[in-house]
């Protein structure tokens, strides 16, 4: 069955997928999915539930068209499930046992109440979103049941409401285009998790995806990249966009468009080169991501008019109160070289300040003008956190992507804030350390527990500052996401963790409680045919090298209540393997693997670490040059702890240098015959980590007088390199006695021309050093 049909089945009322999985009585028993965690939840298993075959119909309030549409929706769901179509009644005309949808003015916005007994079902809400969430709760319960039996809604009293006003998800359709049907699939997922904002990233360097009637070349040229058979892209007509907006609104979701200005504008410049400082030629970017120097020229009046014309059409199309203008990652290079931009700086009276250049202030002036213009259209501006400057309107909403502290800074500057921290909410990041067996991701590691436990409740925020927190948003940048299957895998089940964070907020009762309730949602995903990642929790390890005992102590831990089993030979552990009860002490090489088993049946990610003991392992290390303050590698101890690290530079197992070479001395403790040194380095161009350019090995008997025994010049990373890579560089030399080994590793001086950060200084990261 096609993904389009799978998604539509549930949301237009059909539940034909029931029975394909989670088919045991225990897994498919009558229950509700308590996720996000409800404010009040009482199931009554000793009481009889409401039997659908005895239901006379669904009742809605008189002359209430919104609630009537929810009643019709639920009737269609039940009809496709049981072949029994329930009549939809206006209040006052019903007879017999009924499902009632009622208006309750005492409930918070988007809140709902569900009361089920053997004689009736009541769904109360004060608005359309609330009643949709209540009806959806019933539909999810039916989804978990075996459609070979008479369906029953269990007896319960449930009352729930959201803590955050803004619960959003962003989908980037520029780097990879998704059809209208695929967008609706995405919206369906958001609705299941009670998210209420869809942030639609419609323009970027890789493609312009929205029809603008005044500027037809934006989609004639800017929506496509490549030539011939390699040509790809697409765009949405304004009619298609209206249809999607309507589709979302029926599910309580507001669609917020993003038009990225003035950077990330290669597609716009390819269509209208006159908008650039150099006037081209330009092309729609072929790279998966990156930052490009060519941006809109802010010294030309036609640029400002173009932006306003586009925003006017967008504002007319989207009823949302917000419009997002991007504003992130805008290089100043072209503006610094452009005479018209420099004239604009003078005209606006802009000057360099302590923390901002005149060019920074020029973007601030552009943002200010756009914010003022959007006000005239009845819209409030949102921008990424780079828009934060002295000359920006305080009503402008700051979307904080570069970490939670940026959002705190914006709150203190007087702005409304939406938290979208890349270290917590960017779901294009890997979700497990075993990246070799995962779909390609961008950036670092964002595990589900990290999403769930995100906390921006800074103690020094005032009550007024806290009131300006609008909410939070997860983001999916699609550099490596090309279809529904991979999109679902990257979103689920991390989206469930975000749903609980943003809906329940301070009512959360801990990650282990969340995991205990997650299994029902996983069963729902399975019934819907949705692809989800099997990453729920992980094992943690603390490594304690002991120079005196020449051994590595490994302390494993996981969630409280989980049992850990391990092997040392590289085989996958099971419950018949050795059970972890005390720290492991390793004095020989080993391939340690471990798994943790949670009582509800969930299993941790496989923990894997390769311990390689060599002549340098557990030896003292002297640092002759200073590593970066953030990446000191336990003062060099990580270089000789025997552990081969993963390709994530923030895991504490790498030593990192910036603007300085690595120069270290390893004290072997006594003279030993040596003929080879192996040095591990990391390359991650997306994180500005470039590897080793030149490597030298020196030996000494006394630690003072050194002789060079090997040197190697290493290649620059290949053009347009993507992803992360660990290299183990071997330098062999004639066998020689040595007590001290000196390793000098020089990094590259600048990022290459093809890189979006060309000319900037890259980092150098080194891990394990082996002496043989």
- Looking at residue 199, what is its pLDDT? 98
Looking at the domain assignment, is residue 518 inside a domain? no
Cα–Cα distance for residue pair 109/190, rounded to 1 Å: 18
Looking at the domain assignment, is residue 759 inside a domain? yes
Across the range 338-351, mean pLDDT stands at 96
Look at residues 545, 576, 611 and tell me which one is the last residue of a structural domain: 611
- Looking at residue 722, what is its pLDDT? 84
- For residue 28, pLDDT over 60 is answered with no
Q: How many Cα atoms sit within 13 Å of 181 on the Cβ side?
A: 10
Is the model more confident about 27 or about 134? 134
Give residue 81's pLDDT band: very low, low, confident or very high (50, 70, 90).
confident
Helix (H, G, I), strand (E, B) or coil at 269: helix
Residue 274's nearest CA partner among 234, 215, 325, 204 is 215
Whether residue 578 sits in one domain with residue 649:
no
C-alpha angle 309-314-315 in degrees, rounded to nearest 5: 95
Is the model more confident about 756 or about 203? 203
- Looking at residue 13, what is its pLDDT? 33
Whether residue 691 sits in one domain with residue 557:
no
Q: Can you give the CATH number for the domain in which 67 is found?
A: 3.30.379.10
Query: Could you tell me whether strands 417-419 and 563-567 are parallel, antiparallel, or unpaired per DSSP bridges?
Result: unpaired
Whether residue 624 sits in one domain with residue 770:
yes
Give residue 4's pLDDT band: very low, low, confident or very high (50, 70, 90).
very low
Whether residue 31 sits in one domain with residue 102:
yes
Buried b vs exposed e over 487-511: b needs ≥16 C-beta within 10 Å?
Answer: bbbbbbbbbbbbbbbbbbbeebeeb
Whether residue 730 sits in one domain with residue 637:
yes
Whether residue 766 sits in one domain with residue 720:
yes
Q: In sequence order, what DSSP letters do the residues of 400-416 get, joined into one string?
A: E-S-HHHHHHHHHTT--
Whether residue 750 sits in one domain with residue 602:
no
Looking at the domain assignment, is residue 335 inside a domain? no
Look at residues 611, 628, 646 and tell me which one is the last residue of a structural domain: 611
Looking at the domain assignment, is residue 670 inside a domain? yes
Looking at the domain assignment, is residue 260 inside a domain? no
Looking at the domain assignment, is residue 514 inside a domain? no
Across the range 665-678, mean pLDDT stands at 96
Q: Which residues contact 768 (CB under 8 A, 6 or more apart)?
A: 612, 638, 639, 640, 641, 642, 643, 644, 645, 678, 680
Give residue 29's pLDDT band: very low, low, confident or very high (50, 70, 90).
low
Q: List, by residue number, the catalytic residues.
A: 329
CB burial of residue 459 (10 Å; 0-12, 13-18, 19+): exposed
Task: Pick the range with the lowest mean pLDDT from 142-151, 544-553, 558-567.
Answer: 142-151
Which residue is listed with tokens 């001395």? 665
- Looking at residue 20, what is its pLDDT? 32
Which residue is listed with tokens 């990453």? 535
Whether residue 712 sits in one domain with residue 570:
no
Query: Could you tell me whether strands 152-153 and 50-51 are parallel, antiparallel, or unpaired per DSSP bridges?
Result: antiparallel
Whether residue 17 sits in one domain with residue 140:
yes
Q: What is the pLDDT of residues 606-617, one digit of tens each?
A: 999 999 999 999
Task: Pick the range with the lowest mean pLDDT from 47-56, 191-200, 235-244, 330-339.
Answer: 47-56
Determine contact, residues 183/242, Cβ cutoff 8 Å.
no
Looking at the domain assignment, is residue 715 inside a domain? yes
Looking at the domain assignment, is residue 259 inside a domain? no
Determine contact, residues 85/114, Cβ cutoff 8 Å.
no
Across the range 107-129, mean pLDDT stands at 96
Look at residues 611, 634, 666 and tell me which one is the last residue of a structural domain: 611
Q: Can you give the CATH number for the domain in which 663 is found?
A: 2.60.120.260
- Looking at residue 143, what is its pLDDT? 83
Task: Pick the range with the lowest mean pLDDT from 215-219, 234-238, 453-457.
Answer: 453-457
Residue 634's nearest CA partner among 648, 614, 654, 604 is 654
Give residue 147's pLDDT band: very low, low, confident or very high (50, 70, 90).
low
Give residue 30's pLDDT band: very low, low, confident or very high (50, 70, 90).
low
State what percent of residues in the chain have pLDDT above 90: 83
Domain that holds residue 588: 537-611
- For residue 26, pLDDT over 50 is answered with no
CA 312 to centroid of chain Cα atoms: 30
- Looking at residue 148, what is its pLDDT? 59
Whether residue 692 sits in one domain with residue 601:
no
Across the range 356-367, mean pLDDT stands at 95
Across the range 696-700, mean pLDDT stands at 97
The tokens for 753 are 């021309």
Number of domains in the chain: 3
Q: What is the pLDDT of residues 509-526, one digit of tens each?
A: 999 999 999 999 999 999
Across the range 555-582, mean pLDDT stands at 96
Across the range 77-95, mean pLDDT stands at 84
Whether residue 731 sits in one domain with residue 605:
no
Whether residue 156 sits in one domain with residue 37:
yes
Query: Could you tell me whether strands 584-586 and 551-557 are parallel, antiparallel, or unpaired per DSSP bridges?
Result: antiparallel
Q: Can you give the CATH number for the domain in which 601 is found?
A: 2.60.40
Name the strands in the sheet holding 87-90, side by side, starting at the edge strand that comes first in the sequence. Answer: 40-43, 156-160, 112-116, 120-125, 98-103, 57-60, 87-90
Residue 158's nearest CA partner among 44, 30, 77, 75 is 44
Cα–Cα distance for residue pair 552/515, rounded to 1 Å: 32
SS3 content of the chain, % helix, strand, coil (to 5): 30, 30, 45
Cα–Cα distance for residue pair 544/245, rounded to 1 Å: 55
């Amino acid at each position: 069955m096609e993904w389009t049909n799978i998604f539509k089945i549930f949301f237009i009322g059909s539940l034909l997928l029931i029975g394909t999985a989670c088919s045991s009585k225990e897994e498919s028993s009558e229950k509700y999915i308590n996720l996000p965690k409800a404010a009040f939840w009482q199931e009554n298993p000793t009481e009889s539930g409401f039997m659908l075959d005895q239901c006379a119909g669904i009742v809605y309030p008189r002359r209430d068209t919104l609630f009537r549409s929810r009643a019709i929706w639920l009737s269609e769901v039940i009809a496709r499930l049981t072949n029994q179509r329930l009549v939809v009644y206006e209040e006052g005309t019903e007879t017999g046992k009924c499902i009632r949808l009622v208006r309750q003015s005492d409930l918070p916005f988007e809140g709902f109440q569900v009361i089920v007994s053997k004689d009736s079902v009541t769904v109360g809400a004060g608005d359309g979103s609330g009643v949709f969430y209540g009806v959806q709760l019933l539909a999810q319960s039916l989804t978990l049941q075996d459609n070979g039996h008479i369906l029953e809604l269990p007896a319960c009293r449930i009352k729930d409401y959201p803590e955050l006003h803004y619960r959003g998800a962003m989908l980037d359709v520029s780097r990879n285009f998704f059809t209208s049907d695929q967008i609706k699939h995405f919206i369906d997922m958001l609705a299941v998790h009670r998210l209420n904002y869809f942030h639609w990233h419609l323009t970027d360097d890789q493609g312009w995806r929205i029809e603008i009637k005044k500027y037809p070349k934006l989609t004639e040229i800017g929506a496509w990249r490549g030539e011939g058979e390699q040509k790809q892209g697409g765009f949405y007509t304004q009619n298609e966009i209206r249809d999607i907006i309507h589709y979302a609104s029926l599910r309580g979701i507001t669609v917020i468009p993003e038009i990225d200005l003035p950077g990330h504008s290669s597609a716009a410049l390819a269509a209208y080169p006159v908008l650039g400082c150099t006037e081209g030629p330009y092309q729609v970017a072929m790279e998966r991501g990156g930052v490009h120097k060519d941006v809109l020229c802010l010294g030309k009046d036609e640029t400002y008019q173009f932006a306003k014309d586009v925003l006017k059409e967008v504002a007319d199309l989207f009823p949302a109160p917000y419009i997002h203008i991007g504003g992130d990652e805008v290089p100043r290079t072209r503006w610094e070289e452009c005479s018209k931009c420099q004239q604009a700086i003078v005209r606006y009276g802009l000057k360099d300040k302590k923390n901002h250049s005149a060019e920074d202030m020029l973007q601030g002036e552009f943002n200010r003008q756009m914010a003022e213009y959007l006000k005239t259209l009845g819209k409030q501006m949102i921008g990424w956190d780079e828009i934060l400057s002295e000359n920006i309107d305080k009503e402008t909403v700051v979307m904080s992507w570069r970490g939670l502290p940026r959002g705190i800074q914006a709150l203190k500057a007087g702005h409304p804030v939406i938290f979208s921290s890349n270290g917590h909410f960017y779901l294009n990041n890997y979700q497990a350390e075993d990246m070799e067996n995962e779909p390609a991701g961008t950036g670092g590691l964002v595990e589900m527990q990290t999403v769930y436990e995100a906390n921006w409740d800074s103690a020094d925020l005032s009550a007024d500052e806290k009131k300006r927190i609008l909410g939070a948003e997860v983001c999916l940048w699609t550099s490596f996401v090309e279809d529904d299957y991979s999109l679902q895998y990257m979103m689920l089940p991390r989206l469930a963790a975000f749903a609980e964070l943003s809906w329940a907020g301070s009512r959360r009762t801990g990650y282990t409680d969340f995991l205990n309730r997650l299994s029902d949602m996983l069963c729902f995903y399975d019934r819907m045919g949705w692809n989800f990642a099997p990453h729920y929790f992980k094992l943690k390890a603390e490594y304690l090298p002991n120079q005196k005992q020449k051994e590595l102590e490994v302390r494993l831990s996981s969630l409280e209540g989980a049992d850990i089993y391990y092997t040392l030979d590289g085989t996958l552990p099971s419950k018949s393997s050795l059970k972890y009860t005390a720290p492991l002490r390793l004095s020989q090489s080993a391939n340690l693997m471990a798994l943790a088993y949670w009582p509800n049946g969930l299993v941790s990610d496989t923990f894997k670490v390769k311990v390689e003991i060599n002549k340098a392992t557990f030896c003292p290390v002297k640092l002759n040059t200073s590593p970066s303050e953030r990446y000191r590698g336990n003062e060099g101890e990580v270089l000789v702890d025997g552990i081969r690290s993963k390709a994530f530079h923030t895991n504490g197992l790498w030593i990192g240098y910036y603007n300085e070479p690595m120069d270290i001395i390893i004290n072997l403790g006594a003279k030993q015959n040596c003929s080879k040194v192996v040095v591990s380095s990391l390359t991650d161009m997306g994180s500005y980590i470039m590897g080793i350019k030149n490597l030298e090995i020196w030996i000494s008997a006394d630690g003072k007088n050194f002789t060079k025994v090997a040197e190697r010049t290493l290649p620059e990373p290949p053009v347009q390199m993507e992803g992360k890579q660990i290299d183990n560089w071997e330098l062999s030399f004639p066998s020689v006695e040595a007590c001290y080994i000196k390793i000098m590793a020089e990094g590259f001086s600048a990022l290459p021309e093809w890189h979006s950060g060309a000319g900037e200084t890259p980092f150098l990261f080194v891990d394990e050093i082996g002496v043989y």
